[in-house]
Amino acid sequence: MDESALFEIVTEAVEAALDSRGGGADIPLANRMIGGRMLFEDDQGREAKAVPVEAVFKKVTAVREKLRVLEQKINNHPSLEAGEKAELQGYITRAYGSLTTFNFLFADDADRFKGTGG
């Protein structure tokens, strides 16, 4: 078995393990958000959907873990040039920046998203 096939097997196993843990490391939700709901309202102010904050938090942290895996794959890709890696890394950084909207959900400042300014 060559190195790239072994790498893919290990990566898939790690991703499956992270998915089963709800998106990765035990990242604490801000105490004030535990048991809360995220409300979506229509343009008339009527509640269209209420989602438990824990479910949203799990999805946000899962997106972060998937971005980290993508980042590692890009950085370790054997056929990408340095410029291509930098360009793709820029997209990932901007994606992190877009997710800063959800920083209020995190208990610890160190766990929060940082974009190009952070």
Instruction: Give domain limits for the chain.
Output: 3-25+53-104
User: Which pLDDT score is estimated for 39?
Assistant: 95
| Three-state DSSP state, 40 | strand
User: Which pLDDT score is estimated for 15?
Assistant: 64
Position 3 confidence tier, pLDDT thresholds 50, 70, 90: confident
d(CA 75, CA 113): 20
User: Which pLDDT score is estimated for 71?
Assistant: 93
For residues 60 and 24, the answer to whether their CB atoms sit within 8 Å is no
pTM: 0.70
User: Which pLDDT score is estimated for 20?
Assistant: 46
